[in-house]
Structure 1
Amino acid sequence: MTCDESLYRQYLSGDDEGLNALMEKYGDPLTLYIDGYLHDVHEAEELMLDVFAYLFTKKPRIRDGGFKAYLYKAARHMALRHKSKRKPLFSLDTLTGEPDGRLLVEEVIRTEERNRILHFCMDEMNPDYREVLYLTYFEGMSYAQAAEVTGKTVKQITNMV
């Protein structure tokens, strides 16, 4: 498997396949991470594209092994900046829709209930703990990577987890 840094260097050398592979690998997880800040998946998706646009237009130097942490740190920064500027609007997404006809209604309800409980529990957590838990558990980042994203030390991350 090709590492992230080599895909990034591949893009920098003019081969767009590196960009495509990185966006394929990190697009959805990064959108979900940003959605944790914005609570609007559509805005999160747009911001995810902005993160990649920034990364691939500015072409910063990224140390070996640091691509994922750099990407999430940039996403965090943009999400916080975006969150402070936006005004809440009415959203049709908050309305409940019909479940997909291929799924059993009981399964849809059980999944929605589990997700609602998980989001409720995560919302009740200290925001620092919630972010560290998300990065280490859901995104599979090491404590060092999570520390780099959040601006904390590895010891602080260890204590939080």
Structure 2
Amino acid sequence: MDNGASSYRRFLDGDRNSFTELVTEYWDGLTLYLTGFTDNTAEAEEFAEEVFLKLYADKPDYSGKSSFKTWLYAVGRNTVLNMLRKRRKLREAPLDDFYDVSDREDIEKNHIQDQNKRQLYSAMEKLCGDYRQVLYLVYFENFGVAETAEIMHKNERQISNLLYRAKAALKKKLEKEGFEYEEL
């Protein structure tokens, strides 16, 4: 059982401090992952708040079939997609107009220390959503193909193909921008 799973179990048993541990451990990574759905860090933070609020209020079951982190990111993805679906139905004004994107720099600096990773992440922002998601989950969060498939609701073959195409697209972007890299 990984650390997140034990913290979540303790929270379900009544230890509120363990929920703080969950938020502290997973906030930055989840927020960066959710940024792939919105391209706005402030809005991604709002989505992350909703995910943790859902954990806190609804206390969904964690079966242990996957790692806690995989389960959390899948909950995050589902929550964001539901929120975006509802937003489209309500035809709300985009929240992008109300937020300052300078928050992104702080989160990136804290979470992505390596300069090469920052350059890659910057180039990844220019890719389509599925490409960004698969690259982020595999290379930044170190999820395997099976876990990424579970999070993105695709099969492993689709993830492998998507990963291949995403790496090719990223390589093309990096070459176009003159980046030097060892291997993708």
Q: Equivalent of 1:125, from 115, 121, 127?
A: 127
Sequence identity percentage: 36
Give the CA RMSD over aligned residues.
2.6
Aligned to 1:106: none
Report the Cα offset of residue 48 of structure 1: 0.7
Indicate the residue corresponding to 2:97 in structure 1: 90
Q: Distance in 2 between matches of 1:24 and 1:73?
A: 18
- Structure 1 alignment gaps of length 5 or more: 96-110
Shift in alpha-carbon separation, 1:11–1:128, aligned structure 2, 3 A: same
Amino acid aligned to 1:141 = F
Matched residues in 1 for 2:16 and 2:29: separation?
Answer: 21
Q: Which amino acid aligns with 1:22?
A: L
Tell me, which stretches of 5 or more residues in structure 2 are unaligned?
103-114, 164-184
- Give the TM-score normalised by structure 2: 0.65
Give the Cα–Cα distance (whole angstroms) in 1 for the partners of residues 132 and 40 of structure 2: 18
Q: TM-score, normalised by structure 1?
A: 0.73
Determine the structure 2 residue equivalent to 1:74: 75
**Any residues of structure 2 matched to 1:15-94 within 5 Å, and which?**
15-64=15-64, 65-84=66-85, 85=87, 86-88=92-94, 89-91=96-98, 93=100
Q: How many residues align?
A: 142
Distance in 1, Cα, partners of 2:83 & 2:76 = 10
